[in-house]
Amino acid sequence: MNQRVDQNSEVSVSYVISGENEQNVITNIMDPRGVVVFTNPPLSREGKYESRSPTFGMYRLCFQSKDHASKSISFEFYLQDGLQEEKMATQDEITPIRTNFRKLSRNLDSVYRNIQFYERREKIHRDLAEVTCDRVLYSGIVKIVVACVVSVAQGWILKGFFSNKNANTV
- Pick the more confident residue, 165 or 102: 102
Q: Domains in the chain, ordered, with CATH? A: 2-123 (2.60.120)
pLDDT digits (tens, 9 = 90+) for 52-104: 777 778 878 788 888 887 777 777 876 776 544 445 677 788 889 989 999 99
Three-state SS for 56-115 is: CEEEEEEEEECCCCCEEEEEEEEEEEHHHHHHHCCHHHHHHHHHHHHHHHHHHHHHHHHH
Give residue 140's pLDDT band: very low, low, confident or very high (50, 70, 90): very high
Asked if 50 and 98 count as a contact pair (C-beta separation under 8 A), the reply is no
Q: pLDDT tens for residues 127-137?
A: 999 999 999 99
